[in-house]
């Protein structure tokens, strides 16, 4: 009846694991109680969970990302605390638990923090920037969101029922195979990734079609914003790289479920094939995450330097070049696998080549700032902090690109320091810059600057403290993922790293405070014009938050910075002679239902509850078929209704003037 699921699955094997489970369950209950107390369930369901509006889907993605950021950070600080005290079998975590923590940390931060954050920002802003009313496939968009949430849900549930993988975020076989890992941990990892990966593939397709087919008249490709360009390139990578991880994890699942021999030690298996398949996705993934962040930096630097972006074309070409090259470097993740010197040399060279277009971009941003009138808004600070820090990470990356050097540093904390040095400033700082930049667009009031700056400085200083020592430790030969060690000279470095994690904790606390203070003071910082930062592109020409249809009249574009030009010409904020009715996709529970049953499906496969697998698969099929047979999935907003909303907007603008 319940497959492998028994009462033994509860995490009563250690106090810390039970505590983690209690916090998870307690947190979920607390949210449920607050929602009930606020009588917000109906509002949440009708206005958010069933919404197919790209802006709301974007916000929900970002909420998911921020929740998972907290979870992933708890994992991080627990690891730092363990390693700081783990000399000679000290520390407080048993090895099995420590291994789960580093596995879930990486999995969460990549798949369930960074991916949803990026997808959310693209959803929220890109359609506004290209002057359209929604993405090409609104309900597919909702499905993508709920599949991502289902994957995140599986990772969270593994805290309470059963254990998570101990095989690291890359899940290399044969260790992740059924012989060495008979528990459910690796299965949680596989199905969380498979389910959310389908969502990411579909998001990629959705964004490509939206950008290629739905731009406002006059917006040629070379008039798109840098963020839209980077979103396009990242989406191409999502659509064509995610199938690779679907294959890698799918084959691993076949090995585990049906005793196949893709990656086993014996019976003709080839575990090195897994490394290839995984990183054929994995390296483009790095650029899927970082390209949109580059786009955000470009927008932020231009806006807060009050200058046009320097070298727009070079930035666009650099982005496209990175997107293509990103498929040619995957082998540098396993130079030590034993390929011939020529193969390693080839991938070493392509890896160094890909640093060139990235370097071009740093000059784009620097020269945009040069002689600009810089406003040190928190978003700008994230961008500046990124530029300085990212260059350091880039240099260590070029070092690792040299195969003989990589042989020495492979699997050491030098590598851990390197990729955190790329991803924290490059990806996370970028998304946080975007979050603080576009927050008023989503909610109609600004985020508090002081707490934003506090958060930035804590993150920046915390980052240096946490990861610079790891570079040194790596050079001294410390392997990554050590639960204990016996070299006392390592401990001081690890203590500094732990202190860095505490400083980052203050940064996260500042973000929470920022949110609290900003909501409290929302009337003081209300954004009545929709354009709080003297914006340059179309998203700032709408109200904050924008109406459901975004633009009452689709704008015609004749410049790269259409809204700035319109403000200079005096053609911004013009009222049309009349309004026309607008058709809007209707909300539907189909997306959230699919997400719930994808979660159930994953859970049932993990625990081998086969009847439940069948039931949830049938429900999912029926939902898809019913919804996709519906020819009238839209409703029409009458011209009068549009006029009423627009009149309100212009009254607000007039009050301001």
169 binds other proteins (CB under 8 A): no
Window 600-639: residues binding other proteins (CB under 8 A): 625, 628-629, 631
53 binds other proteins (CB under 8 A): no
The DSSP annotation for 82-98 comes to HHHH-BTS-SSS-HHHH
DSSP 8-state secondary structure symbol assigned to residue 637: E
Q: How is residue 357 written in tokens?
A: 């277009």
Least Cβ distance, residue 244 to other proteins (angstroms) = 6
Window 539-578: residues binding other proteins (CB under 8 A): none
**Are residues 186 and 192 in contact, defined by beta-carbon separation less than 8 angstroms?**
no
Least Cβ distance, residue 127 to other proteins (angstroms) = 13
Residue 480 CB coordination number (10 Å): 17
Q: Taking contact as CB under 8 A, which single stretch among the options 40-48, 175-183, 266-274, 367-375 is the one that binds other proteins?
A: 266-274
278 binds other proteins (CB under 8 A): no
Pairwise CA distance, residues 49 & 63, whole Å: 12
- Identify the CA nearest to 148 among candidates 176, 114, 104, 121: 114
Q: Which of 220, 270, 411, 556 binds other proteins (CB under 8 A)?
A: 270
Q: Reduce the secondary structure of 232-256 to three states and give it as a string.
A: HHHHHHHHHHHHHHHHHHHHHHHHH
State the binding string over 210-229 for other proteins (x if CB under 8 A, else -): --xxx---------------
Cis peptide leading into residue 174 (ω within 30°): yes
Question: Which lies closer to other proteins via its Cβ, residue 557 or residue 566?
Answer: 557
Residue 121 CB coordination number (10 Å): 27
Window 427-466: residues binding other proteins (CB under 8 A): none
Question: Which lies closer to other proteins via its Cβ, residue 291 or residue 392?
Answer: 291
- Helices in 108-163 by DSSP H: which ranges? 115-129, 138-160
Least Cβ distance, residue 443 to other proteins (angstroms) = 30
Q: Which of 24, 63, 261, 306 binds other proteins (CB under 8 A)?
A: 261
Burial bucket for residue 120 (CB in 10 Å: 0-12, 13-18, 19+): buried
Reduced to 3 states, what is the DSSP secondary structure of residue 485?
strand
State the binding string over 226-255 for other proteins (x if CB under 8 A, else -): -------------xx-xxx-xx---x--xx
Question: Which lies closer to other proteins via its Cβ, residue 61 or residue 262?
Answer: 262
Question: Which lies closer to other proteins via its Cβ, residue 267 or residue 656?
Answer: 267
Question: Which lies closer to other proteins via its Cβ, residue 76 or residue 237?
Answer: 237
206 binds other proteins (CB under 8 A): yes
268 binds other proteins (CB under 8 A): yes
Least Cβ distance, residue 280 to other proteins (angstroms) = 7
Cross-strand bridge partners of residue 283: none
**Are residues 583 and 636 in contact, defined by beta-carbon separation less than 8 angstroms?**
yes
Pairwise CA distance, residues 517 & 582, whole Å: 37
136 binds other proteins (CB under 8 A): yes
Q: Which of 126, 208, 564, 582 binds other proteins (CB under 8 A)?
A: 208
Question: Which lies closer to other proteins via its Cβ, residue 40 or residue 212?
Answer: 212
- For 221, residues 6+ apart whose C-beta sits below 8 A from its C-beta are none
Least Cβ distance, residue 214 to other proteins (angstroms) = 7
What are the backbone dihedrals phi and psi of residue 152, each rounded to the nearest 5 degrees, phi first? -60, -40
Pairwise CA distance, residues 613 & 43, whole Å: 31
User: How many residues make contact with other proteins (CB under 8 A)?
Assistant: 40
Q: How is residue 13 written in tokens?
A: 């094997």
The DSSP annotation for 4-42 comes to T--GGGSSTT-HHHHHHHHHHHHHHHHHHHHHHHTT-HH
Q: Which of 6, 7, 8, 266 binds other proteins (CB under 8 A)?
A: 266
328 binds other proteins (CB under 8 A): no
Q: Which of 264, 351, 358, 514 binds other proteins (CB under 8 A)?
A: 264
SS3 of the chain: helix, strand, coil, percent, to 5: 70, 0, 25
Binding site for other proteins (CB under 8 A): 136-137, 201, 204-206, 208-209, 212-214, 239-240, 242-244, 246-247, 251, 254-255, 258-262, 264, 266-270, 273, 277, 280, 583, 625, 628-629, 631
């Amino acid at each position: 009846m319940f497959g492998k699921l028994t009462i033994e699955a509860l995490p009563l094997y250690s106090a810390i694991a039970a505590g983690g489970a209690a916090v998870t369950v307690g947190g979920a209950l607390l949210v449920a109680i607050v929602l009930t107390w606020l009588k917000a369930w109906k509002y949440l369901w009708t206005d958010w969970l069933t919404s197919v509006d790209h802006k709301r889907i974007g916000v929900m993605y970002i909420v998911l990302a921020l929740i998972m950021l907290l979870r992933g950070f708890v994992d991080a600080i627990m690891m730092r605390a363990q390693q700081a005290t783990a000399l000679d079998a000290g520390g407080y975590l048993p090895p099995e638990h420590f291994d789960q923590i580093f596995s879930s940390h990486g999995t969460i931060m990549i798949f369930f923090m960074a991916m949803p954050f990026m997808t959310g920002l693209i959803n929220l802003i890109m359609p506004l920037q290209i002057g359209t009313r929604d993405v090409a496939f609104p309900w597919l968009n909702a499905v993508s969101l709920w599949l991502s949430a289902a994957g995140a849900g599986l990772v969270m549930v593994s805290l309470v029922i059963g254990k998570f993988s101990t095989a690291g975020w890359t899940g290399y076989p044969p260790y992740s195979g059924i012989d060495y890992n008979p528990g459910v941990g690796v299965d949680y990892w596989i199905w969380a990734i498979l389910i959310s990966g389908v969502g990411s593939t579909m998001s990629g397709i959705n964004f490509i079609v939206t950008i290629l087919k739905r731009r406002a008249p006059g917006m040629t490709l070379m008039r798109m914003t840098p963020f839209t360009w980077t979103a396009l390139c990242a989406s191409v990578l999502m659509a064509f790289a995610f199938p690779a991880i679907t294959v890698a994890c799918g084959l691993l699942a076949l090995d585990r479920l049906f005793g196949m021999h893709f990656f086993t030690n014996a019976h003709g298996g080839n575990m090195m094939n897994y490394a290839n398949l995984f990183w054929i996705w994995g390296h483009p993934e790095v650029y899927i995450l970082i390209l949109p962040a580059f786009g955000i930096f470009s927008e932020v630097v231009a806006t807060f330097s009050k200058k046009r972006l320097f070298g727009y074309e070079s930035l666009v070409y650099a982005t496209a070049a990175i997107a293509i090259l990103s498929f040619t470097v995957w082998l540098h993740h396993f130079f030590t696998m034993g390929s011939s010197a020529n193969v390693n040399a080839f991938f070493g060279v392509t890896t160094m080549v890909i640093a060139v277009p990235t370097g071009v971009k740093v000059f784009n941003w620097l020269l945009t700032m040069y002689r600009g009138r810089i406003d040190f808004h928190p978003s700008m600070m994230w961008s500046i902090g990124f530029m300085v820090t990212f260059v350091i990470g880039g240099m260590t990356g070029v070092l690792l690109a040299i195969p003989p050097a990589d042989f020495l540093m492979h699997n050491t904390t030098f590598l851990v320091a390197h990729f955190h040095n790329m991803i924290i400033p490059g990806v996370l700082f970028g998304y946080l810059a975007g979050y603080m930049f576009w927050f008023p667009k989503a909610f109609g009031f600004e985020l508090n600057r002081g707490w934003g700056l506090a958060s930035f400085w804590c993150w920046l200083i915390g980052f240096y403290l946490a990861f610079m020592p790891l570079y040194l430790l790596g050079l001294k030969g410390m392997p990554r993922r050590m639960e204990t060690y016996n070299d006392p000279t390592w401990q001081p470095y690890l203590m500094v790293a732990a202190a860095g994690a505490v400083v980052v904790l203050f940064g996260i606390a500042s973000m929470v405070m920022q949110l609290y203070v900003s909501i409290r003071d929302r009337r003081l910082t209300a954004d009545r014009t929709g354009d709080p930062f003297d914006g340059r592109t179309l998203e700032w020409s709408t109200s904050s938050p924008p109406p459901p249809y975004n633009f009452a009249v689709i704008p015609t574009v004749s410049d790269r910075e259409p809204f700035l030009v319109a403000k200079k010409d005096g053609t911004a904020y013009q009222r049309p002679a009349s309004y026309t009715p607008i058709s809007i996709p209707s909300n539907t529970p189909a997306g959230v239902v699919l997400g719930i049953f994808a979660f159930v499906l994953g859970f049932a496969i993990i625990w081998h509850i086969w009847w439940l697998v069948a039931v949830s698969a049938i429900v999912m099929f029926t939902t898809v078929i019913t919804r996709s047979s519906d020819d009238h999935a839209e409703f029409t907003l009458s011209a009068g209704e549009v006029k009423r909303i627009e009149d309100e907007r212009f009254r607000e603008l007039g009050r301001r003037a």
